[in-house]
C-alpha cells in the first residue's frame, strides 16, 4: 500500500430492494470502521407490481452515510445496486416516475413477444441471456405499451446504481456487470446491440457509457457533497450490480459455487468462459472484473420461507428432520423456473403431516431450484468445480435450517465467510481499486475478504431432490397458467 494512502477510508454502498447499507473500510487492511443503514419503501400489489421512487434511494444514502459518522473522511466510494431496475430520467437526471424493480413481474406479458422477435438461440448467443419478466428490456417494452408518453419523454435510462452514481458525479456511466443484466448489452460482444435497441425503440444515446473494470466514474461534485456530507472531490468508482459486487468481495476462484440467500436467491460462479442458455434458466452475465458471472435466480427465497413459518406459527428454524411433502414457494411468481404467474403450492399433505415438515419442505423447494442451476451452468459452457465448497452468503446463511438444507441437497462442504455484508464489501473493494490503481482481486486478497469457516459435507439427499423435481415437472403446466 502506498504510504500516501495510509489511514484513508473507502466506502461500499449496497442499495438493495429493502434498504441502503454503507460500510466504511480502512483502506490499508479492510477493517470495517463504521456502518450505516436506512430503509426503503417498496410499493407492491398482487398483480406483480414492485416499484420504488429513486429519490427514496438518495435519501436513504444520505441517512446511511450520516449514520457512519465519518462521511466527510471517505476518500473513495462505489455504489452496488439491485440489478435490472428501470429508471427513466429527465434532462437533469431526475426520475420521471417510480423505478420498476427487478422483482416486478408485470412485464411477463411481453416476454414471448421479445423472445420470438429474435429467437431464444440469438438472445443466448448474442446477449448472453434470454429475457424474462423483470429484465430491464422487458420492463421497458411493457412500460412503453402502457405509458408511451413517459417513455418518450425520458432523456436517459439508467439502472439503480447508475442513477446514484450519476447523482454523485454528474456523469452517466455504468459497468459491464450491471449492463449485462439489461438485456440490451452483450456480455460476449461488449457492446449495446442495435437489434435489441431497435426492438424496444431505444436510442443508444439515452444509455450510459460502459466503463472498463477498475475505471473511475468521476468525483463527488459540490452539490452532492453538501447534500450527503461527503468531501467534495472524493473518488467515485464505476459501481456495479449487487451480485457482481458480492463476487468481487468474495474473490473466489473460477468455478467455485456461491449461493446467496436473501429476499431473492441467487446461485452463480465466476467463469472465464461465457454461458449460452437458450432455455433462459441461466443468465449469462458479465462480472465486474473482466470475466463472466453465469447466474440463476429465484424470486422466492428467505421472504417466502419466513412467510410460511409465520402462517404455521413456527420459529424459522423449527423444521423437522425430514419431510414427505413438497412445497413450491412461488408466492410472487417465479423466475427459476420461469413461472411469473405461479402461486405457492403444497403437495403431499396427510393427516400425520406436521407443521415442521411443511416448513422444511418450503426450505427445500426454494433451495432445490438454486442448486439445480449449477448443473445447467456447467451444461451451457460455464465453469463449475464439482469438488469446491459451496459458499453460502446473504441473510439466510446465518440460519441453521438454511445451512442444513443446502448442505443436504448439495452434498458439498459449506463455506461460511465471516463478512456479513459482502455486496457492500465488494463495492468497497471496487472503491479501493479506483483510488489506488490496484486490481479488485489484489485488494480483496490483501483484505482476506473470504476468510471464514468450512462445514464438512454430508451425503446428498437424492430422494428429496427427485421428489421436488418430479413434482415441479408434473405441476408445471398448471403453474404456468395459474
Supply angle C-alpha 9, 10, 15, rounded to 5: 140
Judged by DSSP in three states, 76 sits in strand
Rounded Cα–Cα distance for residues 43 and 472 (Å): 30
Question: Is 242 a catalytic site residue?
Answer: yes
Rounded Cα–Cα distance for residues 331 and 401 (Å): 20
Rounded Cα–Cα distance for residues 50 and 62 (Å): 23
Residue located via cell numbers 464438512: 456
333's grid cell: 411468481
Cis peptide before 87 (omega within 30 of 0): no
Question: Per the residue annotation, which of 162, 175, 242, 404 is the catalytic one?
Answer: 242
Rounded Cα–Cα distance for residues 31 and 114 (Å): 46
Which has the closest alpha carbon to 65: 13, 29, 107, 114? 13
Rounded Cα–Cα distance for residues 131 and 119 (Å): 10
Supply angle C-alpha 366, 184, 162, rounded to 5: 80
Judged by DSSP in three states, 75 sits in strand
Q: Would you please indicate which residues are annotated as catalytic (active-site) residues? A: 242
Amino acid at each position: 500500500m502506498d504510504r500516501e494512502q495510509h489511514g484513508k477510508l473507502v466506502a461500499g454502498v449496497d442499495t438493495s430492494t429493502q434498504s441502503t447499507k454503507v460500510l466504511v473500510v480502512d483502506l490499508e487492511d479492510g477493517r470495517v470502521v463504521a456502518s450505516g443503514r436506512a430503509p426503503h419503501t417498496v410499493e407492491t400489489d398482487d398483480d406483480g407490481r414492485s416499484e420504488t421512487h429513486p429519490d427514496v434511494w438518495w435519501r436513504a444514502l444520505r441517512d446511511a452515510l450520516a449514520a457512519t459518522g465519518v462521511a466527510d473522511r471517505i476518500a473513495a466510494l462505489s455504489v452496488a445496486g439491485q440489478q435490472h431496475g428501470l429508471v427513466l430520467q429527465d434532462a437533469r437526471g431526475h426520475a420521471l416516475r417510480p423505478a420498476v424493480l427487478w422483482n416486478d413481474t408485470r412485464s411477463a406479458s411481453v416476454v414471448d413477444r421479445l423472445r420470438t422477435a429474435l429467437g431464444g438461440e440469438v438472445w443466448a448467443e448474442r446477449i448472453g441471456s434470454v429475457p424474462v419478466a423483470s429484465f430491464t428490456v422487458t420492463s421497458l417494452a411493457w412500460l412503453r405499451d402502457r405509458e408511451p408518453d413517459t417513455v418518450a419523454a425520458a432523456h436517459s435510462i439508467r439502472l439503480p446504481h447508475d442513477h446514484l452514481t450519476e447523482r454523485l458525479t454528474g456523469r452517466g456511466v455504468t459497468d459491464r456487470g450491471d449492463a449485462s443484466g439489461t438485456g440490451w448489452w452483450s456480455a460476449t460482444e461488449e457492446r449495446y446491440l442495435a437489434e435489441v435497441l431497435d426492438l424496444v425503440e431505444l436510442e443508444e444515446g439515452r444509455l450510459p457509457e460502459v466503463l472498463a473494470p477498475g475505471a473511475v466514474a468521476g468525483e463527488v461534485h459540490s452539490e452532492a457533497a453538501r447534500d450527503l456530507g461527503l468531501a467534495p472531490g472524493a473518488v467515485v468508482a464505476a459501481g456495479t450490480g449487487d451480485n457482481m459486487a458480492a463476487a468481487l468481495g468474495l474473490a473466489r476462484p473460477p468455478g467455485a459455487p456461491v449461493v446467496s440467500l436473501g429476499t431473492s436467491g441467487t446461485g452463480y460462479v465466476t467463469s472465464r468462459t461465457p454461458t449460452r442458455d437458450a432455455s433462459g434458466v441461466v443468465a449469462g452475465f458479465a462480472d465486474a472484473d473482466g470475466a463472466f458471472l453465469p447466474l440463476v435466480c429465484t424470486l422466492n427465497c428467505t421472504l417466502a420461507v419466513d412467510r410460511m413459518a409465520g402462517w404455521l406459527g413456527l420459529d424459522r428454524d423449527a423444521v423437522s428432520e425430514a419431510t414427505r411433502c413438497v412445497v413450491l414457494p412461488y408466492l410472487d411468481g417465479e423466475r427459476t423456473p420461469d413461472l411469473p404467474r405461479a402461486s405457492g403450492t403444497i403437495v403431499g399433505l396427510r393427516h400425520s403431516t406436521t407443521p415442521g415438515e411443511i416448513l422444511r419442505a418450503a426450505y427445500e423447494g426454494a433451495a432445490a431450484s438454486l442448486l439445480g442451476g449449477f448443473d445447467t451452468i456447467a451444461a451451457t459452457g460455464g465453469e463449475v468445480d464439482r469438488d469446491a465448497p459451496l459458499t453460502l452468503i446473504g441473510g439466510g446463511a446465518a440460519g441453521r435450517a438454511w445451512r442444513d438444507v443446502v448442505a443436504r441437497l448439495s452434498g458439498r462442504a459449506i463455506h461460511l465467510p465471516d463478512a456479513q455484508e459482502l455486496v457492500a464489501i465488494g463495492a468497497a473493494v471496487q472503491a479501493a481499486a479506483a483510488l489506488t490503481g490496484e486490481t479488485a482481486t489484489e485488494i480483496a486478497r490483501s483484505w482476506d475478504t473470504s476468510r471464514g469457516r468450512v462445514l464438512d459435507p454430508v451425503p446428498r439427499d437424492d430422494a428429496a431432490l427427485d421428489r421436488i423435481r418430479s413434482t415441479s415437472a408434473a405441476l408445471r403446466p398448471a403453474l404456468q397458467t395459474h
